[in-house]
Chain A
Amino acid sequence: MRNLTGGGAWLVLPAVLLLAAFFLWPVGELVARSFRDPAGAWVHYQRIWEVPAYLRILNRTLVISAMTTVICVVLAYPLAYRLVTASPMGRAVILVCVLIPFWTNLLVRSYGWIIMLNPQGVINSALMGLGLIDEPLRLVYNTTGVLIGMSQIMLPFMILPIAAVMARLDPKVTHAARSLGATPVQAFFKVYLPLTMPGVMAGSVLVFTISLGFFVIPALLGGSREILLAQLIEFNINQVLNWGLAAALSTVLLIATLGLYWIGDRWFGLGRIWGLK
């Protein structure tokens, strides 16, 4: 193999060139632009720091991403467990159910959620029809809508790393715990959960970092007054044409993402879970 490819370096060359031309260079340009204001290199960053609205948006973005992450962990953990313990047939069914939304266009999915969640939508009609509620629940154009939409999209990113760790775990360790006197609940909390925690952490870092930069879902399913960071960036580029500030906001987002990924890789072996190491 080695001889066949002559060391193999040229195999990755097209990808590297593509990445350099269409990703690294524009991103570098963006970061540079955030410091290029005639009024001084740090003016945009100073503004972000001083204007309460910006900090509020930043804060809201962090909170929504964190909530999405928590919801995904709660939903994904039992699903991942079913996935790895199911028969091959059951596994295929679960995987398809998890991944089908993944293969559907993001806009289509978002409008689908609007149809489901709006005050006259399927869910509210059903609940009212059953007499469980008198007034429609406010499920969309607010934080609830954003959380529902984001959690659904992010779920596979949480399930797959958790399932990968669970599948690699020797099932005998829980047997060993039981034989040593642990009840099923103790065996879960003392052995199974700690040993699958790296998967939870890897999935969390992934979901959290991707959520930080999400635009489409909050734009379509969120309220117009509760915007997130990506919407703020879009607003500055398309509406007020303040590219410098948009670049500074993007840089903040970029650094947060890289920082989190570094932590995830360093402490929770993110790279190992993706099979990179």
Chain B
Amino acid sequence: MTARAGAAIRIERLNKIYGDLKAVDDVSLDIAAGEFLTLLGSSGSGKTTTLMIVAGFALPDSGNVWIGDRPITQLPPERRGLGVVFQSYALFPHLDVKENIAFPLRMRRVQAAEIERKVARVLELVELGAFRDRRIGQLSGGQQQRVALARALVFEPPVLLMDEPLGALDRKLREQLQVEIKRIQRDLGVTVIYVTHDQEEALSMSDRIAIMAEGRILQTGTPDEVYEAPHSAYVADFLGESNFIRGQASETGLLARTDGDPRCMAAARATVAAGAEAVGIVRPEAIRLEADTRGLPNQITGEIELREFLGADLRLSVLTPVGALTVRTPRLGQHAGLLPGARVTLGWSAEDMALFPADKGGT
């Protein structure tokens, strides 16, 4: 496998309707050559449908797909030349490992000696050299996954499409293969569209993430961007943990609803007009405790309800006038007294609270 550049992919205004369901709703994406882009979304959000349109197994009702400057929307799958890895692996159980991997080369009438060489090389790449003559049924899930990867890479496609390739594996194996897939992708320079509903997987592997819901792309950005600066309450909720504080937008932030008078809070990022119903979002790890809250514009006291031990971190659930807030704080330090029943002061900066219109989903 020579290191060769992947191809850019352009997806333009794809639509796919099943009955009265918009499975893919006006999806556009520009993916650079060699980029690792993940489609992330909950079940039924249209990730697989989008990927299958790119692979050629579903025709869009409208829209186009280009690989490089070649339009491929109307081509049958076998003429697109893309590598595809399916969640179920879809290996050929009647062929052994090397014949599975040789399949795309045989379809391309590659010479026998060349096939031998390429299969050996890709087997080495996925570290399966010793399993060359095994039957598929004699492989573990992780090994089958590697065979599927090798088979999709052996003909040196410029683009690799993967639909939840690690979905069926246990956590440890999954993390190991994540690293390996990333390494292979970087070495080969192949462009990847990766589908998952596992946010950690998406955050750790991707150059960019496109977050999908109900057939639409809500936000596209680097893992840092989508995590740090979600464009909507939905994205904030979907990626990682978030606290939702409801109220009305004001000139400077949020008038948070309580049992009594509303509390005035400062928020830096606001996409809401003053006076409208709004929700303020704060990450659990952005909330400071006790002495650390000094000088912060948003402060509130409450009673600890729950204390969870998470190894390096503590997670507290604190009942405050604006509702229960989750706090995540390093376990080491001065927090020995953080026990259920104790009263604590919480605080966060204006930069750490983002404001969104309340009607856009949320909790």
Q: Residues of A at under 8 Å CB distance from B?
A: 170, 172-173, 175-184, 186, 190-191, 194-195
Contacts and interface: CB of A to CB of B under 8 A. Distances in A.
Contacts of B83: 179
A195 B93 contact: yes
Contacts of B77: 175, 178-179
Contacts, number: 64
A180 B94 CA distance: 16
Interface in B58-114: 76-78, 80-84, 86, 88, 90-94, 103-104, 107-108
A182 B84 contact: no
B155 interface: yes
Contacts of A186: 107
Given A179-B84, A180-B103, A172 B78 contact: no
Contacts of B56: 178-179
A195 to B, nearest CB: 6
Nearest to B84: A179
A170 B88 contact: yes
B86 A175 contact: yes
A177 B103 contact: yes
A179 B92 contact: no
B108 A181 contact: yes
Given A173-B92, A195-B94, A179 B55 contact: yes
A182 B82 contact: no
Query: Interface size class for chain B?
Result: 20 to 34
Contacts of B82: 179
A184 B92 CA distance: 16
Nearest to A186: B107
Contact of A191 (B78, B80, B84, B92): B92
A175 B78 contact: no
B288 interface: no
A181 B75 CA distance: 12
A180 B155 contact: yes
19 contacts: A170-B88, A172-B86, A172-B88, A172-B90, A173-B92, A175-B55, A175-B57, A176-B91, A178-B56, A179-B55, A179-B56, A180-B78, A180-B155, A181-B78, A183-B76, A191-B92, A191-B94, A194-B94, A195-B94
Interface in B150-174: 151-152, 155
Contacts of B84: 175-176, 179
Nearest to A172: B90
A191 B103 CA distance: 10
B90 A170 contact: yes
Contacts of B80: 179
Given A181-B78, A183-B78, A176 B90 contact: yes
A42 to B, nearest CB: 45
Contacts of A180: 78, 103-104, 107, 151-152, 155
Given A172-B90, A178-B56, 5 more contacts: A170-B88, A175-B55, A180-B107, A183-B78, A195-B93
A180 B83 CA distance: 7
In order of increasing CB-CB distance, the 3 nearest A-B pairs are A181-B107, A176-B90, A180-B104
A194 B91 CA distance: 13
Nearest to A179: B84
A184 B104 CA distance: 14
A182 B82 CA distance: 12
A181 B155 contact: yes
Contacts of A184: 76
Contact of A178 (B76, B108, B155): B76
A170 B92 CA distance: 10
A181 B92 contact: no
